[in-house]
Amino acid sequence: MLVKIKSRGFEMFVTPEYSQGYSNFEPLTSFFALSIYDEKKIFLDIGGHYGYYSTLIGKHKKNSKIIAFEPTKESFSIFKKNIQLNKLDSRVKINNCAISDKNEKIKMYLPEGISGKSSVYKLLTKKYTTQEIVAYPIDQIINDPVSIAKVDAEGHEIPIIKGMRKTIDTNKELSLIVEFHPNNLISAGYKPSELLELIKFLGFEIYFLVDYYWFVSKDFKVSETNAIIFKIDDSDEWKNILSNDGRCNLLCIKKEMSINIYRLLQDLYAPANNQLFFESDSINNEFDKKTAECNFLKNKLSLYMNSFANKYNNLLYTDQK
């Protein structure tokens, strides 16, 4: 059974267990995906599930070109319905396959009732069904310029990124948005720091985008926060930031790019000369403060998100009470 929900400026079909989550999905990550995406290039949606990010970009970026990958048959079918529902067939190409670091057939484990946790690995102690899926590396599929690659693969992010080394090297202004879920990576046989070190090795600066305050460690003293951004320098720094089952998205920006994250927020969506978002009273424009100074305060974030929502016709709404 599917239900139709309203999300950020569009409608989409979801299974009932996702009706609330996708109504207010990842507000901070959604903001950056829209702000940084260059419509002259491709948006790659790797692990698209029901098509939230493809639809978000497609509906609000009228000249966008999106290539998406969803390996499981059930989620692919719903993804396709959402593209048709929003009349995006001409801009979104969906592929029913997996992405990895080589051509291979892989077994996907599909836990009952949680389609978003389907993975190459057994991540949950639930009943599973399995599907055999063909996988390809991005470097063998994509030749056109890419602006953003969004990667959400439930622990399989490292092989996917290894399989797109040529794409990363060729596209000097490519950015990555990558799910960082330490427990999934550990279940898959990786150290969480391996993913961060790989991304840094490939020439990116990393920002943690924590969309929901409950994924932040209580020891980090941000209980008044709705969504948080941190610039990461140490690959083990996540241990002090995320809760035991915490997760976030990594915003990965090439070091040579001229994107200044703080200025992007300040100049585009904050009132002029207003020191929003930060605890520190004296913030320069280089976004180079330590993590403790780079968390959004709840009331200030709400101010910011309200101004952003007005600009994009209620696109982002972050009241999580």
C-alpha atoms less than 13 angstroms from C-alpha of 43 in its C-beta half-sphere: 31
What are the backbone angles phi and psi of residue 165, rounded to the nearest 5°?
-60, -45
Strand order in the sheet with 128-136: 98-99, 128-136, 104-111
Q: 3-99+138-311 has which CATH code?
A: 3.40.50.150
Among 34-38, 102-106, 121-125, 298-302, which is the least confidently predicted range?
A: 298-302
| pLDDT, tens digit, 9 for 90 and up, residues 137-196 | 999 999 999 999 999 998 899 999 999 999 999 999 999 999 999 998 998 899 999 999
* The pLDDT value given to residue 311: 41
Question: Do 155 and 108 contact (CB within 8 A), yes or no?
Answer: no
pLDDT at 126 (0 to 100)? 66
The predicted model scores a pTM of 0.81
pLDDT tens-digit map of 12-55: 999 998 888 888 788 778 878 988 899 999 999 999 999 999 99
